Amino acid sequence: MTHSSAPAKPALTSEDRSARIAVTVFPALILLAAAFGFFVPDVGQMLAPHTSLYLGVIMFAMGLTLTLPDFGLVARRPLPVLIGVVAQYVIMPLVGLGVSLLLQLPPELAVGVILVGCAPGGTSSNVITYLAKADTALSVTMTSISTLLAPLLTPLLTLWLAGSYLPVDAGSMAMSIVKMVLIPVIGGLVVRLVLGKLVDTVLPALPWVSVAGISLVVIAVVSGSTEAIVSAGAIVLLAVVLHNALGYLIGYWAARLLRQGERAARTTSIEVGMQNSGLAATLAASAFSPAAALPAAIFSIWHNLSGAMLAMYYRRSADLHPAAHPQKGRPQVDAA
């Protein structure tokens, strides 16, 4: 008599383990950073003048993870990439404005929420996509393209949507993004091309470099926003949760309505809902005020937590229908 048993689950690969550590540990570290900034604001204010440097380190680390094939997907599958990038710069900015109007946020907080929506995709969206068994290669390409477009689109969209709340110097913002984002990302990509073998040896450490950078940004922002947190923390959290959730939902259905497959739609959902909150926080603090950076700081914590929960939901659904959700691509475990 023979006994049948369910096949054993395959052992986790090192990439799976790194990705899961990223999703579980990063939000906790960022939450600790926020608490540190709130309870030890004097130290946080010492860090505040250097937030652009921290962001530059994060974006350089992102550039080191990129390869030329990541951009080749634009030529091979232009439509899903185009849908994702356009959705990124249409859905989240408009949702940010809508949430600000709905909750009647004061000008500084409204500008902060809108600026989060106008930021490019967050690099942590790539690891969430990987864990969700969606299309990791597509996510990496969407993030990369939206990041490269940020110097043009983020200032213009912020000026258009937030200019009625506070004055927006779009030219200065564009130059800041070029210095903090575009140059470091391209620099990292060039270093990867020239010193590929050396970079491969340090790739496992890059997630921790990135989370250290975003943690420093959060400490600096929160330390300058303690009064705003006490007076408006609950309403900002509500705004962030609504903004993020609507991004996931509308991003998914936008892709489905445009006849994209399930994996591409899930990838678009994650990519649209998760923003480069480190960039938004740094821009808000430098162009407006620490209070304007508060939504981005809270978004840094929340979108990693919500993304992990969404990945669990998508992954469970994919496990029920594995043939329809083949896992491809490599995980990217930068945090932003």
Domain map (residue ranges) of the chain: 14-324
Distance CA 105, CA 94 (A): 15
Count of Cβ atoms closer than 10 Å to residue 95 Cβ: 25
Which residue, chain included where needed, has tokens 């790194």? 18
Give the mean model confidence (pLDDT) for residues 288-310: 87
pLDDT class of 7 with cuts at 50, 70, 90: very low
Distance CA 275, CA 120 (A): 6
Residue among 89, 61, 53 at smallest CA distance from 176: 53
Residues listed for the chain: 336
| CATH code given to domain 14-324 | 1.20.1530.20
pLDDT class of 297 with cuts at 50, 70, 90: confident
Residue 268: Cβ-neighbour burial (10 angstroms; 0-12, 13-18, 19+): buried
Question: What confidence tens digit (pLDDT) does each residue in 195-233 have?
Answer: 888 888 888 777 778 788 888 888 988 888 888 888 888
